[in-house]
Structure 1
Amino acid sequence: MLFMVEMLVDIPNSVPAEEAARIKADEKAYSQALQRSGKWPHIWRVVGQYANVSIFDVESNDELHTLLSQLPLFPFMKISVTPLARHPSAI
């Protein structure tokens, strides 16, 4: 199942810089592992925002929820999920 996932990150200023840096490093490692596994085949930065648009290729809604909720930045994210289906004009 394919999903478009939009993630907007907002880390509060109250989070110490060292803690924010650690969380971001953990996020990068986790997301790259998912990319290598094929579960997260596409990720694009949204210009001018601390945000991304990604494509996930997972077995179920539950699997997507589990993967997203395990993101280290999850507590600081606003996430929008859109299920995708193949377009009949696609070649």
Structure 2
Amino acid sequence: MGGPNLEVFKFSLYLFVPIAALVHFGDPEWYRRHVVPYRDKLFPSLDRTIQRIPTDQSGVREELARIKTERLAKRAAREAEEAEAKAKE
């Protein structure tokens, strides 16, 4: 079989790989350069997310009403845009 030199090599490899990964990927500059832009693409911005979740029934109803009005406004804008596009044709 391999002998003691192989065991020393394997042991040093088992130690070196995780430590090298921690040093490389744990660098704050690497995180800012590679992870933060991807995170911004993947998740919505903080102003578009709900920071305070309603806990009582009236708060939930108010939030649902707000979402419904936003959705209706978007639908009305989209329908007006489609009607304008059809009028141009």
Q: Which structure is richer in relative contact order (CA contacts within 8 A, separation 6 or more)? A: 1
Q: Structures share a fold, TM > 0.5? A: no
Q: Which has the higher helix share?
A: 2
Structure with higher Rg: it is 2
Question: TM-score if structure 1 supplies the norm length?
Answer: 0.27
